[in-house]
Structure 1
């Protein structure tokens, strides 16, 4: 099915890349009205947790 799914579509509906890129993409979803983005790791689960977990600085 991969040949039939344009790269542009993948980039528009996924938050992938570096942790910074993924955080920016999720923020973009929130900025456009998403209220409950669902994150599903396809790789390093711990990295996803570390990327999206609230900081311990009380924020």
Structure 2
């Protein structure tokens, strides 16, 4: 698992799609585990668009 401490700046690092990453903000830790499969037709943009549409329809 890769661990990062974020201090207000975005760092540019090469990452593989199968690594877990821990982000620490103050006293909170967020573990991010990639779930995208290379053979999947879904992109981050298409998933975000679907989530935004679902949220707007729920209101």
- TM norm structure 1: 0.24
Higher normalized strand content (fraction of residues): 2
State which structure, 1 or 2, has the greater radius of gyration over its C-alpha atoms. 2
- TM norm structure 2: 0.24
Higher normalized helix content (fraction of residues): 1
